[in-house]
Structure 1
Amino acid sequence: MTTTRECPALMISALASGQGKTTVTAALAAWHRRQGKRVTVFKTGPDYLDPLLLARASGGSAEPLDLWMMGEEACRRALYEAAAESDLILIEGAMGLFDGDPSSADLAEHFSLPVVTVIHARGMAQTVAAVALGLTHYRPSLNTLGIVANALGSERHRQLIEAALAPETPLLASLLRKDDMALPSRHLGLVMPDEQHDVDERIALAADQLEGSTLSTLLPNVSFPAPAYDTTPATTLEGCRIAVARDAAFSFIYSANLRLLEALGADIAFFSPLTDSTLPEGYTAVWLPGGYPELHADTLACNTAMHQALRNAHDRGCPILAECGGMLYLMASLVTLEGDTFPMANVLPGQGRMQGHSGCQGMQSVELPEGTLRGHSHHHSRAFETLPPLTHCQRARHSAPGEAVYRQGNTTASYLHLYFPSNPSACAALFTAPRQTASSVRP
């Protein structure tokens, strides 16, 4: 194995959330794709929505890259493998540059990634220079290349900022504020690309503004060392056929999770709780990932045939994993923000209720009988009248209890979105639980 691989790479971070990191990253990916380059994009931290747009811009996939959730060795392997097949690697940070533990800055320093900082400049001009200087000198060990000024009002606005910047914080690119370039969002994050009729045009408009900028040609090489050991899992799901819900209501799926299941030997069969009346033929386990069931509650409620199919699977002792929106779907009912109540699959007791503010958030791990798995939580709902929890998750950086985990028969449900590669053997065990019927305890 080659000990190192070199590839141009950039970490795109920001002063804070909402500065335009995703817009800038998508614009960079689209611009260099236009030039015939193969662009690989990563997203720091847990996120399902931003990567969909970044993948759309780059023409490839957009994977998570997180030291805590994935571990150092998995991050090293992801970057090393990307360097072999890419002309450019882009990593979009999370929140502000130094926010979190580990932060985007920690990731950048760990892998010697040059950092570009996005600053939303609406309402300020020369002050951008002071902010940029502070970010640069806060941790001098970082390789900070300069800034991207976002949401500028005019060419004069750009000139004022550029003239005030110190030599060590050059203006690498700038984007004018344009309504037809803005990326629409809602609770939980950006609106998914497939729901936007003009998403490609919006990305293209942002990419157009990079023409002639330093970032249209500046591609600093980074050396990526080979991983220390082979992480290929043993085949432990041979003969398993896992039915995976995937449609507009259930789409929060890490590609790495699917790849792991296949690497373990499983056959993946997708189905739609919105439109299908039965589960895939020959299934041995079911995975209901998160998504937006609240946006499709009426359709989900009307598909009673799928409700029955899931109850039958549960009663037979088929292993079922339900995450966040998937858990809400398995409960007796779901109440929308408008106050409307819709019946759900009624596999587990409980009622999900949407709320206008966030619930339990952030990175968490969970100790299950199968082993310890890592993941994250992010939701705008609460669950009531549930089963007594099997256990609670542990927050990564806080002592307060995390999400509750429920288990009935071979059905495991929680708000936690699991990252399967954090423990392949525990993941495999979730989908091959000892067969036990659950009809005696199901509501």
Structure 2
Amino acid sequence: MLISAPASGQGKTTVTAALAYYHRQQGRRVRVFKTGPDFIDPQILAYASGQPVYQLDLWMMGEVHCRELLYRAAGEADLILIEGVMGLFDGDSSSADLAQALAVPVAAVIDAQGMAQTFAAVAFGLANYRPGLAFAGAIANKVGSAGHARMLQEALPVGMPLLAAMSRDEAVGLPSRHLGLLQADEIGDLDARLARAAELLNSFTPCVLPEPVTFADVSTNLPPRLLQGKRIAVARDAAFSFIYQANLDCLRAMGAELLFFSPLADSALPEADSVYLPGGYPELHLQALADNLAMKQALTEHHQVGKAIYAECGGFLYLLDSLADKEGQRAAMVGLLPGSAVMQTRLANLGMHSLQLAQGEIRGHSFHFSKLETTLEPIAVSSPQRSFGHGEGFFRSGSLQASYLHLYFPFNPQLAAGFF
């Protein structure tokens, strides 16, 4: 089922993680997906389910690919949970659009604090706003007592179940910062929070699931082995952790061997043909990145001999001359790209993008708070899906290619292979 809500901040991630954790405890094999281009929620959900979390987005990935991922998951799981994005009907490619396209029933998480019969009115509205949407039932969050849960359940329309009533407890909330929740490995008591949340799912009523659904067979077209024998060094640590699992799968499917390293802690690169620097939080680790002169030198030498480097968002910022945090503290970065960036207190760009290169189109998204100043001219500029977004420059310097964009490799594997 797809876990949605009337709005952001209703508790979708906490409830989805609690459901995954609870059913995993019951011995079920659980797989979780996240609607839209999110990197942080999937870390929490992967911890809760014990399995990698993949994204689902009709525009960025295409419906056929979304169906393929669900079909493959259904072959190995007892329960598939999909966490929605924003409110159920929000956005150009909404959670409701995804649920209808993929024939997945929707469960609505509703913050019931300070609410009685109106809870049922909200649930009824979500269930009936769009004809043909399969509505599995409601999940009440922040329920005050057994009497409160009973009142909510009795108010629901006939035939609409209360799937769970989760007791109010501030101890299960997930802490956040400017780009969203804290990363899973930053929450020291995450296991205790999830265990408590799973326990609270059954506080007042038994937690129930909707009827099973069937997914039609989807034939898989494997990408060509364009990276056969290539070794790719992939940055992965607290500063660089925003990466689609599907991107890593795609690179491996094309024959690449992936070797992980830490720009924060390591003094050398693995023996590799190319480097992948994904996004993350370099602004939170400025001094450590600046002080690791050996890694900066290793990347410089890698570039000087003409080996490929592909960087996106946080990885892109790391390759500039310097980066400053929102307090104005500036530190020297690798210096392979001319220019600098400074973190802003407000969002600089957000949304889906299409990038057209000589090799074709690839899609992805942009989400950053930094402002870039560079003398380097982009070789291409992305087209934002929404009118209020602005295009992102795609830069090339020798064997190095970089931009703010988080690109989704399976959309065009052949083009992605060219980055490496």
Smaller-chain TM-score bracket: over 0.9
Distance 2:65 2:112 in 1: 36
Query: Does the C-alpha gap of structure 1 residues 23 and 215 become closer, same or farther in structure 2, counting only changes over 3 Å?
Result: farther
Query: Does the C-alpha gap of structure 1 residues 215 and 310 become closer, same or farther in structure 2, counting only changes over 3 Å?
Result: farther
Query: Does the C-alpha gap of structure 1 residues 220 and 213 become closer, same or farther in structure 2, counting only changes over 3 Å?
Result: farther
Distance 1:200 1:401 in 2: 40
In the other structure, the counterpart of 1:30 is 21
Query: Does the C-alpha gap of structure 1 residues 208 and 377 become closer, same or farther in structure 2, counting only changes over 3 Å?
Result: same
Q: Is the 8 A contact 2:234 2:259 kept in 1?
A: yes
Matched position secondary structure for 2:192: helix
1:223 Cα deviation after fit: 0.8
In the other structure, the counterpart of 2:252 is 262
In the other structure, the counterpart of 2:315 is 326
Q: Does 1:208 align with 2:199?
A: yes
Q: Does 1:341 align with 2:330?
A: yes
Counterpart residue identity of residue 79, structure 1: L
Of stretches 326-335 and 315-324 in structure 1, the one that deviates more from structure 2 is 315-324
1:356 Cα deviation after fit: 1.6
The correspondence for 1:290, drawn from 272, 279, 282, is 279
User: What TM-score does the superposition give when structure 1 sets the normalisation length?
Assistant: 0.91
In the other structure, the counterpart of 2:393 is 404
Of stretches 396-405 and 77-86 in structure 1, the one that deviates more from structure 2 is 396-405
Matched position secondary structure for 1:350: strand
Deviations 1:293-335 (A, max 9, x none): 0111110000112112212222222211110000110001111
Distance 2:148 2:352 in 1: 39
Q: Does 1:67 align with 2:58?
A: yes
Q: Does 1:76 align with 2:61?
A: no
Matched position secondary structure for 1:426: helix
Q: Is the 8 A contact 2:232 2:275 kept in 1?
A: yes
1:150 Cα deviation after fit: 1.1
In the other structure, the counterpart of 1:369 is 358
Deviations 1:146-179 (A, max 9, x none): 2111123334433443333322543221222212
In the other structure, the counterpart of 1:439 is none
In the other structure, the counterpart of 2:132 is 141
Distance 1:383 1:167 in 2: 55
In the other structure, the counterpart of 1:247 is 237
The correspondence for 1:426, drawn from 398, 411, 415, is 415
Question: RMSD over aligned Cα, in angstroms?
Answer: 1.7
Deviations 1:338-372 (A, max 9, x none): 21111111110111111122121111111122321
For residues 86-235 of structure 1, what are the structure 2 equivalents within 5 Å? 86-211=77-202, 216-227=207-218, 229-235=219-225
User: What TM-score does the superposition give when structure 2 sets the normalisation length?
Assistant: 0.96
Q: Is the 8 A contact 2:349 2:368 kept in 1?
A: yes
Distance 1:231 1:215 in 2: 42
1:397 Cα deviation after fit: 3.5
Deviations 1:203-236 (A, max 9, x none): 1111112237777332411110011x43201111
1:125 Cα deviation after fit: 2.8
Distance 2:210 2:128 in 1: 23
In the other structure, the counterpart of 1:15 is 6
Q: Which runs of no fewer than 5 residues in structure 2 stay unpaired?
A: none
Matched position secondary structure for 1:262: helix
In the other structure, the counterpart of 1:385 is 374
Query: What is the number of residues matched between the two proteins?
Result: 420
Q: Percent identity?
A: 55
In the other structure, the counterpart of 1:4 is none
Counterpart residue identity of residue 301, structure 2: N
Matched position secondary structure for 2:119: helix
Q: Is the 8 A contact 2:233 2:275 kept in 1?
A: yes
Counterpart residue identity of residue 310, structure 1: L
Distance 2:202 2:187 in 1: 25
Matched position secondary structure for 1:378: strand
Distance 2:111 2:156 in 1: 15
Q: Which runs of no fewer than 5 residues in structure 1 stay unpaired?
A: 1-9, 432-443
Q: Is the 8 A contact 1:392 1:401 kept in 2?
A: no
Query: Does the C-alpha gap of structure 1 residues 214 and 142 become closer, same or farther in structure 2, counting only changes over 3 Å?
Result: farther
Q: Is the 8 A contact 2:277 2:316 kept in 1?
A: yes
Distance 2:210 2:203 in 1: 14
